Amino acid sequence: MAASGIAAGSLSEVYSIAKRILLRARDGIERLERFESVQSLCSNMDSLWRSISVKSKYAEQRDRLKRAQRKALDVLNTVGLSNSVLRLIERRNRVDTWIKYMGMIATIVVLYLFIRWTR
């Protein structure tokens, strides 16, 4: 026992030294287990931060897509408004065409009647 660093002593001294060594070993094991749990907690936190960053990127993309959708709907509404305005213009053009032809016919009839009346 003298060679191993423990002085030769009574059995109770050896027992108490062994008990202290055992307690230190248990404390070391508990610290190691806590350290491992802290490491696992850190890795869990890292994965959580990664998922949060991914979710924030998805939120940014969603906002961009919403803006693009709004712009597209605005363009479609403008085109829809343009289509309704074009339909109104075409209808007005048809009515104007009828008025023009009816005016031509009425002018010809008036001229014909004027010529018949003057002869």
Name the residue ranges covered by the structural domains of the chain.
2-118
What pLDDT score does 104 carry? Answer: 94
Helix (H, G, I), strand (E, B), or coil: what is residue 91? helix
Contact 24, 30 (CB under 8 A): no
Residue 102 confidence (pLDDT): 95
pLDDT of residue 3: 45
2, 8 contact by CB (below 8 A) = yes
CA distance 22 to 16: 10
Q: What is the pLDDT of residues 72-90, one digit of tens each?
A: 888 877 877 777 887 888 8
- Banded pLDDT at 28 (limits 50, 70, 90): confident
- Gap between the Cα atoms of 98 and 96, Å rounded: 5
pTM of the model: 0.41
